[in-house]
């Protein structure tokens, strides 16, 4: 399936949820925010939010600092 991830075209396996995509990419879900098609995806729905063909996703990592 083809999506746009952080502005880049990318092919991913079919049937992934947001949580599954993060695992596929090796990203810890506690440290990111995800936007799907211009809407923030609540962390509580990561496992149930399925990614579909053509979705546009932005994944933002939180970085601590002082």
- Could you state, in order of their start, the residue ranges of all structural domains in the chain? 2-61
pLDDT at 32: 95
Backbone phi, then psi, for 34, in 5-degree steps?
-125, 130
> Domain 2-61 is in which class?
alpha beta
26-62 pLDDT, tens digit per residue, is: 998 888 999 999 999 999 999 999 999 999 999 998 8
How far apart are alpha carbons 58 and 18 in whole angstroms?
A: 11
Quote the pTM value.
Answer: 0.90
* Strands 2-5 vs 56-61: parallel, antiparallel or unpaired: parallel
7-28 pLDDT, tens digit per residue, is: 999 999 999 999 999 999 999 8
> Is pLDDT above 90 for 65?
no
């Amino acid at each position: 399936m083809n999506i746009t991830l952080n502005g880049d075209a990318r092919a991913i396996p079919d049937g992934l949820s947001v949580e599954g995509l993060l695992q596929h990419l090796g990203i810890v879900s506690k440290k990111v925010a995800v936007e799907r098609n211009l809407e923030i995806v609540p962390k509580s729905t990561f496992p149930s939010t399925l990614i579909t063909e053509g979705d546009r996703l932005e994944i933002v990592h939180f970085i601590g600092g002082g």
